[in-house]
Amino acid sequence: MKDRYILGSKKREQKRLNIQSAIFENETQRTLELAGIKSGMCCVDLGCGAGDTSFLLAKLVGYKGHVTGIDINKNAIKNCKKRVKEENSKNTEFFGRSVYNTKLQEHKFDLVFSRFLFQHLKEPEKVILEMSRIAKKSGMLVVEELDHGSWLCYPPEPSLQKLRQIYVKLLQLNGADPFIARKLYKIFTELRFQPNVGAYTVTVTTDKTPFNNLGVQLAKTLEPQIIKNDLMSQKEFGHMLERIQKYSNSPYGLVLYATTFRVWSKNRSNGF
């Protein structure tokens, strides 16, 4: 099973992920606290990407805990391992593996976490079952996911809405679901879990750098896929990017990014 990550793996995408992680860090920590994260836990970060959530987990579980990051992207894992050495992290490790088959030990982990992975998956149920397989029978499964039904901005900027529509279209062309977040509670329930659910939005004001550049970074990262799939001409893309860049420099722009759903559930104790 291969799920193509439409945002690629170049340095530009790593930069975008770092900005995104900084914007979401406080809310993600809140999600983990709701799920009962504690010092000394053994955790997994599925679809760890640039590793920011893995290192957040490592901070929360402390030196007595341990975090394993899993991502299919070899460049991402290479960068994560480099970061381990640079930061002299003693409680993190990373593996380039499929989230459908992590090859991790069954029922070993206290908490299995995923952030912004499911919007890229073709078979989300299989990943939830893999999370359940590697979590302890008393462990927690935790998912944060973006729902791309709307991005709100004021003053209104049509180019940002156009970017949202294009991103939705690219996910759908890849066989994934840009609206999977709103469906996770139902999916977990149908798989016989008893999930908790909540939702939040993060606010980005364009007077704060580098957060104001998230839209610009997203557009630049998506450019090859936009052109390849004939969703825009190069000229049209250039005009959209110019408008987004102009908006990002506004002294009073306000953006509420996609709604984020948080779902957390104790693992099933009665097998699969």
- Work out the burial of residue 252: count CB atoms within 10 Å of its CB; fewer than 13 is exposed, 13-18 middle, 19 or more buried: exposed
- Which of these, 120, 140, 111, lies nearest to 53 by C-alpha position? 111
Digit-coded pLDDT (tens) for 88-113: 999 999 999 999 999 999 999 999 99
Distance set, CA 52 to CA 19, 46, 128, 151 (Å): 10, 12, 21, 24
Fold topology of 11-266: Rossmann fold (3.40.50)
Digit-coded pLDDT (tens) for 229-252: 999 999 999 999 999 999 999 999
Mean pLDDT score, 106-123: 97
Instruction: Measure the CA–CA gap between 21 and 54, rounded to whole angstroms.
Output: 11
Domain-wise residue ranges, the chain: 11-266
Residue 8 has pLDDT above 90, yes or no: no
pLDDT for the residue 3: 53
Confidence of residue 9 (pLDDT cuts 50, 70, 90): low
- Please give the full DSSP string across the chain, using - where no structure is assigned: -----TT-SSHHHHHHHHHHHHHHHHHHHHHHHHTT--TT-EEEEET-TTSHHHHHHHHHH-TTSEEEEEES-HHHHHHHHHHHHHHT-SSEEEEE--SS---PPTT-EEEEEEES-GGG-S-HHHHHHHHHHHEEEEEEEEEEEEETT--EEES--HHHHHHHHHHHHHHHHTT--TTGGGGHHHHHHHTT---EEEEE--EEETTSTTGGGHHHHHHHHHHHHHHHTTSS-HHHHHHHHHHHHHHHT-SS-EEE--EEEEEEEEPPSS--
Instruction: Measure the CA–CA gap between 127 and 129, rounded to whole angstroms.
Output: 5
Residue 193 has pLDDT above 80, yes or no: yes
pLDDT for the residue 199: 98
Instruction: Measure the CA–CA gap between 96 and 87, rounded to whole angstroms.
Output: 20
Confidence of residue 2 (pLDDT cuts 50, 70, 90): very low
pLDDT for the residue 271: 52
Instruction: Measure the CA–CA gap between 218 and 157, rounded to whole angstroms.
Output: 16
Digit-coded pLDDT (tens) for 34-85: 999 999 999 999 999 999 999 999 999 999 999 999 999 998 999 999 999 9
pLDDT for the residue 249: 95
Contact status, residue 109 vs residue 129, Cβ threshold 8 Å: no
* CB-side neighbour CA atoms (13 Å) of 195: 23
Contact status, residue 159 vs residue 244, Cβ threshold 8 Å: yes
Strands of 152-154's sheet in order across: 152-154, 254-256, 203-205
Instruction: Measure the CA–CA gap between 44 and 243, rounded to whole angstroms.
Output: 40
Contact status, residue 88 vs residue 24, Cβ threshold 8 Å: no
Q: In the numeric block, which tokens belong to residue 36?
A: 């009962």
pLDDT for the residue 220: 94
Q: What is the pTM of this model?
A: 0.94
Instruction: Measure the CA–CA gap between 166 and 180, rounded to whole angstroms.
Output: 17
